[in-house]
Chain A
Amino acid sequence: ETGVTQSPTHLIKTRGQQVTLRCSSQSGHNTVSWYQQALGQGPQFIFQYYREEENGRGNFPPRFSGLQFPNYSSELNVNALELDDSALYLCASSPGLASPPEQYFGPGTRLTVT
């Protein structure tokens, strides 16, 4: 186990709704990254937060947004849900911005959009 936790485990939403997913990083880690993993695919990078600021972003539209809190936990928010947003959402924490970027993944939240 990595010490990274995510909630909820599973979630079902309707197209057009909004969703918030949560992540608690491993103790001592101040960097959190979010990934989207469609069925049968590898994870795709959404964005990264370092000390409460967005530090990098992948090719995702603005309706994907996030927050990081002073305790380094994080939220992923998705507005105006689309059917293609159905996926496993993974959170990964890192001890900082040092290279190489060792990332430790949580178990994920399975989002289904109907």
Chain B
Amino acid sequence: GESVGLHLPTLSVQEGDNSIINCAYSNSASDYFIWYKQESGKGPQFIIDIRSNMDKRQGQRVTVLLNKTVKHLSLQIAATQPGDSAVYFCAENLRGGADGLTFGKGTHLIIQP
């Protein structure tokens, strides 16, 4: 089975609210994690990444949290905007890239006006 999974397939939030998208992983050897955003008809777009020696990383309006104790990853989006509507994937890497990225199934983020 997949080593990366997501708790919720769909998340609906009000415009302006904060969004939190969760991800669970099962392989403790994973050393790199990435969040991608995929809009309809497009390829995945890099949002933010984090290495296993960190527990938090911030970008512009986004924060990724890594809890290695419970093998949990989350993406926080501040002040959600209509343009944030998309499917969000977490992905992990096990061996510096040669094994590729392992993706979860995705969470569809829906922004309510």
Contacts and interface: CB of A to CB of B under 8 A. Distances in A.
A101 B32 contact: yes
Question: How many residues of A sit at the interface, in one of the four size bands?
Answer: 20 to 34
Contacts of A94: 97
A41 B96 contact: no
Interface in A37-75: 40-48, 55-56, 58
Interface string B2-16: 101000000000000
Given A100-B49, A107-B42, A108-B43, A55 B103 contact: no
B102 interface: yes
A2 B36 CA distance: 13
Given A40-B105, A100-B32, A100-B93, A45 B99 contact: yes
Residue of B49, B97, B98, B101 most packed against chain A (CB within 10 A): B97
Interface of B: 2, 4, 31-32, 34, 36, 41-46, 49, 51, 89, 91, 93, 95-106
25 contacts: A31-B97, A40-B106, A42-B4, A42-B103, A48-B97, A48-B98, A56-B95, A56-B97, A56-B98, A58-B99, A97-B97, A99-B31, A99-B96, A99-B97, A100-B34, A100-B49, A100-B51, A101-B97, A101-B101, A103-B46, A105-B36, A105-B43, A106-B43, A107-B43, A108-B42
